[in-house]
Structure 1
Amino acid sequence: MWKQILQSRNLPEKFIKVEVRNGRSTLFWFDNWSNLGNLLEVTGVRGCMDLGIHIESTVEEVIRMHRRQRHRQPILNKVEDEIAGAVSTYMETEEDIHKWKEKTHSYKTRFSTKATYEQLRSHHPQVPWSNAVWFKHHNPKFNFIAWLTLQNRLSTGERMIA
């Protein structure tokens, strides 16, 4: 169980997006603020050196200090375009807005447990025997044993010998 918990540590990153206003609270390399996603994952550590942007910089610092350059690698030119887009939407007086993924491509300012669960769970078609096993006034022990039997996972003597 602990391995599953540890493996899901990076999962929330995919659900959070930052709408940049003044850029003070948004880290340039680590936060998901651009259309490219997490820029450190996209460019790698080499991107920090090629663009000349410190790894701990905020979006505000980059907007104020960065000078546009042309690069040989197309991904770096795309990052330069993202910086130019952030400059055009820069609002010094407003704070950044953190949004949570609601559906596939829509983000909301409110967190919804239901919407997040629906995106995380795997959807499977309903099997014909489900109503026979999982019914309203069920006995949990009976349900579990019936489910194991239907999955052919009941440890019978024959299976234990194999």
Structure 2
Amino acid sequence: DLLHISDATLPIRYLGLPLLSSKLTKLDCNILLKLLRRTSSWVSNALSFGGRLQLLSSVLFSIQVFWCSTFILPVAVCKECDRILRSFLWHGVGNAKRSGKVAWSKVCKPREEGGLGIKNCRGWNQAAILKIGWDICQMTCNSSWSWRSVLNARRLLADRVVYEVGNGQSFSLWFDPWLNGVSILDRYGARVIHDSGMGSDARVCCVINQGEWEWPLTSPELIDISNMANRIPLSPIADKIHWRKKGSSFTISDAWRTITPQSSTVDWWKIVWFPRNIPKHSFCAWLTFREAHRTLDKLVMWGLATSNRCSFGCGHCESIDHLFFECPFTARI
């Protein structure tokens, strides 16, 4: 009463995000409503494809980042976020039921791989949670569902980090992948712990004596481990964990690239996305290279038009090659 603070029960909202002790559900995620409201407010502006791409990459994506950096979103929410963004890009509204000109999986590839550089919600969510996991990957907790969901990303993180042994005081001797990227337990099984005479909570420093490796050589497996460990230099500094390689720093963008399937670089991406490009023109060029323009030859093939003759009256069949390279009318523009 003195501080005028009222009692409340979970779930409540704080800074626009739900505070709850149970599992996050689709009903808790008003990110979908925010995206729909924002896309609806732009409908009357008659935006071009290039303008929609700019708004999608900045404003709409920033709404996703706020949520993706806090929770592991339900798969259904990620799919719905992608659907809203896909609908806005192709049709100017967030709730259209029609398909787009280019598959969303291709749109979400980096520009050098022939996409538009848009991050899909699921992949970016995983990359953002990896950032939290990167900061607390050696901590343990039995707390809320939110915390446990972050810890579930440790396996995804462990496959992409490099352990550098220093004084050995931080790394688990048996469970951390400090020996050539694999933990001793995964490589040799639990029997080696019994053979060593040390407990399961042993640290790497337990087999270091005055800056030198000192392993109990009581089994063939331990002899093999000792031979591999002798190739690893020791130092008095603290143990370190690096992202992907020694000396590199963690970024969410880099994490997103590593967990997203990669494609080969297309040779035309710099032609489209050159410095100081005009977004409207670059988007049109991108559709051209993707052969995604709805020209009359395609519409006839799909049964949506009766004639494939050029719209500019030259009498030839309208196709992408004709419109951009062969049509006498467009050649004069």
Would the aligned equivalents of 1:16 and 1:32 in 2 still touch at CA under 8 Å?
no
Shift of 1:71: 3.1
Q: 2:226 aligns with which of 67, 80, 92?
A: 80
Which of 230, 239, 242 does residue 99 from structure 1 map onto? 242
Q: Partner amino acid for 2:241?
A: H
- Which TM-score applies when normalising by structure 2? 0.31
Does the alignment pair 1:24 with 2:169?
Answer: yes
Residue 27 of structure 1 contacts residue 59 of structure 1 at CA under 8 Å; is this kept in 2? Answer: yes
Cα distance in 2 between the residues matched to 1:115 and 1:79: 33
Which structure exhibits the higher relative contact order, with contacts defined as CA atoms closer than 8 Å and separated by 6 or more residues? 1
State the alpha-carbon separation in 2 of the partners of residues 27 and 66 from structure 1. 16
Measured against aligned partners, the alpha-carbon deviations of 1:80-113 in whole angstroms (never above 9, x if no partner) come to: 2233345xx3323x11121111xxxx33341122
2:224 is aligned with what amino acid?
Answer: K
> Any idea what SS the aligned residue of 2:241 has?
strand
> RMSD over aligned Cα, in angstroms?
3.2
The one-letter code matched in structure 2 to 1:26 is F
CA offset at residue 58 of structure 1? 0.8
**Equivalent residue for 2:234?**
90
Residue 69 (str. 1) matches residue 179 (str. 2): no
The code of the aligned residue for 2:223 comes to N
Q: Is the 8 A contact 2:215 2:226 kept in 1?
A: no
**Whole-angstrom distance in 1 between the partners of 2:205 and 2:291:** 57
Distance 1:33 1:113, change over 3 A: same
The Cα of 1:77 is off from its aligned counterpart by: 3.2
CA displacement at 1:31 relative to structure 2: 1.6
Q: 1:66 to 1:55 in 2, by over 3 A?
A: farther
CA contact (8 A) 1:36 1:42 kept: no
Q: Which runs of 5+ in 1 are unaligned?
A: 134-162
Shift of 1:14: 1.1
Code of the aligned partner of 1:44: G
Is 2:251 aligned against 1:112? yes
Helix, strand or coil for the counterpart of 2:230?
Answer: helix
